[in-house]
């Protein structure tokens, strides 16, 4: 008898990839966004499009089937720092009630939920408490201690990927009875001790992703524009000059703001500015005074700095003693141009802040971004636009993180599952150390209509 799972708020199928790697069968998937649902069907040969409310609050001819595991990456926007943080006051936040309805009806042996780290923050203490208490009321062993997981903290041999993406996982294992001795137990999940020896500084994006060959003709569309290269070359010139002038000392950690430099600064200070901004201004003014001659020459040599957009007139150097900006990873952010070592990338986000590979002078491709989420090379976006693909990946879940979270939960709750679902326990115990490659062959669909 096979182990089954359902995939709620499925996106493009990160949970599905993890479940399939464990040898499980997906019996139901649901995704409200038509574009994401089309990519899901293209890769997993399974229809997902639909509103979950129709299954829990309305009437559907085909009800949600029974299942062993419920996966759910319920919408994070109500809890995200980038949103309004309305929590369950917003309808998307109330989607947890749909999950609770399904759990009460089908009583699966395990529930695995994922959301942004902020869901367990002080702003949403009420919501967090409600979720934990509701799961316990429904008969699940679940810890109130947030289990924060990021794929870059998982060794590559266990399915980790070089992406810093901290997410909270809420995992519940159904108890034999609501009066069980472990009801209300707060024991948190934990990863194998092997993880403790993994140094995140050991990631090397060029070897660990891996990157696609840079010589391909189709890489031209990911190449930086001439104007972008011009600005980055200008900042790189300052980086190199500063390393010489400062006898090899690294650049300061605070953001460098060229608007505060020069004989005629273009920024007018605000006496009512908050203290953090005043501190930022003071540090930049001191930095300018210490290197006045060099910076004045640099501004004279690179007039494009004054003429570019405000965000590109700032540099956030997080690359330590790296010798050139082009040796690292670059991000055009609203707060400035951020540069870091080519170890792991910041979290993929559902907005345009795509990582730039300095060495190649181009942005990462959708295929590379999919690899950062743990998707295998046969995963496809069909003819969909890159903008949509990046957005879907930014909303996705890291496959390796899900896989290891499930294994950690099985390890903790093995004695329970021996009684409630020995088949589930057996599949995970037999599963390999890291996710295996997908056996699904993408089918031909109306991919051209997805864009």
Query: What positions carry a catalytic annotation?
Result: 76
Which residue in the block uniquely carries the two structure tokens 């004695």?
415
Neighbours of 249 (CB within 10 A): 10
Q: What is the DSSP letter of 175?
A: -
Query: How is residue 144 written in tokens?
Result: 């109130």
Assign 210 to helix, strand or coil. Answer: coil
C-alpha dihedral sign at 272, 277, 279, 285: negative
CA 366 to chain centre: 14
Beta partners for residue 141, in sequence order: 173
Which residue in the block uniquely carries the two structure tokens 């993929």?
348
Q: What is the DSSP letter of 267?
A: P
CA distance 81 to 94: 18
Neighbours of 318 (CB within 10 A): 16
Q: Which H helix or E strand runs over 174? A: strand 167-174
Nearest by Cα to 168 from 200, 196, 132, 138: 132
Residue count of the chain: 451
CA distance 405 to 412: 11
CA distance 127 to 375: 31
Which residue in the block uniquely carries the two structure tokens 């070897």?
207
CA distance 168 to 1: 31
Specify whether the CB–CB gap between 252 and 283 falls below 8 A: yes
Specify whether the CB–CB gap between 411 and 117 falls below 8 A: no
Q: In what order do the strands lie in the sheet with 356-357?
A: 256-257, 314-318, 336-340, 329-333, 356-357, 362-363
Assign 215 to helix, strand or coil. Answer: coil
Beta partners for residue 188, in sequence order: none
Buried b / exposed e along 333-356 (16+ C-beta atoms within 10 A): eeebbbbbbbbbbbbbbbeebbbb
Nearest by Cα to 59 from 49, 50, 46: 50
Alpha helices in 196-308 (DSSP H): 205-208, 226-245, 275-290, 292-301, 304-307
């Amino acid at each position: 008898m096979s182990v089954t799972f359902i995939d709620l708020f499925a996106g493009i199928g990160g949970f599905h990839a993890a479940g399939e790697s464990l040898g499980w069968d997906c019996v139901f998937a649901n995704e409200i966004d038509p574009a994401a649902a089309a990519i899901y069907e293209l890769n997993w040969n399974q229809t997902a499009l639909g509103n979950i409310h129709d299954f829990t609050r309305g009437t559907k001819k085909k009800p949600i089937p029974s299942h062993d595991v419920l996966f759910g990456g319920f919408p994070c926007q109500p809890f995200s720092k980038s949103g309004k943080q309305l929590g369950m006051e917003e309808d998307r936040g109330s989607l947890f009630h749909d999950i609770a309805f399904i759990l009460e009806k089908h009583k699966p042996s395990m529930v695995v939920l994922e959301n942004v780290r902020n869901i367990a923050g002080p702003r949403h203490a009420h919501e967090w408490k409600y979720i934990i208490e509701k799961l316990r009321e429904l008969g699940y062993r679940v810890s109130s201690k947030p289990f924060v997981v990021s794929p870059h903290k998982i060794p590559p041999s266990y399915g980790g990927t070089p992406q810093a993406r901290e997410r909270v996982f809420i995992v519940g294992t159904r108890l034999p009875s609501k009066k069980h001795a472990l009801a209300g137990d707060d024991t948190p999940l934990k990863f194998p001790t092997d993880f403790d020896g993994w140094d995140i500084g050991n990631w090397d994006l060029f070897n660990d992703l891996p990157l696609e060959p840079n010589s391909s003709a189709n890489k031209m569309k990911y190449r930086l524009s001439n104007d972008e290269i011009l600005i980055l070359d200008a900042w790189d010139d300052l980086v190199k000059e500063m390393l010489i002038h400062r006898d090899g000392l690294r650049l300061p950690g605070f953001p460098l703001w060229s608007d505060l430099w020069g004989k005629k600064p273009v920024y007018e200070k605000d006496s009512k500015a908050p203290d953090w901004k005043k501190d930022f201004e003071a540090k930049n003014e001191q930095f300018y005074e210490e290197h006045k001659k060099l910076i004045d020459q640099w501004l004279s040599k690179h007039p494009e700095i004054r003429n570019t957009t405000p965000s590109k007139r700032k540099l956030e150097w997080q690359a330590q003693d790296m010798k050139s900006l082009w040796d690292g990873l670059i991000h055009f952010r609203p707060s400035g141009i951020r540069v870091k070592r080519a170890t792991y990338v910041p979290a993929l986000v559902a907005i345009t802040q795509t990582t730039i590979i300095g060495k190649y002078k181009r942005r990462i491709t959708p295929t590379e971004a999919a690899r950062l989420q743990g998707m295998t090379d046969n995963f496809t976006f069909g003819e969909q636009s890159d903008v949509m693909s990046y957005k879907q990946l930014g909303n996705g879940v890291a496959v390796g993180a899900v896989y290891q979270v499930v294994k950690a939960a099985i390890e903790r709750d093995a004695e329970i599952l021996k009684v409630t679902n020995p088949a589930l326990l057996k599949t995970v115990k037999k599963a390999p150390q890291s996710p295996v490659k997908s056996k699904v062959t993408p089918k031909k669909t109306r991919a051209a209509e997805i864009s």
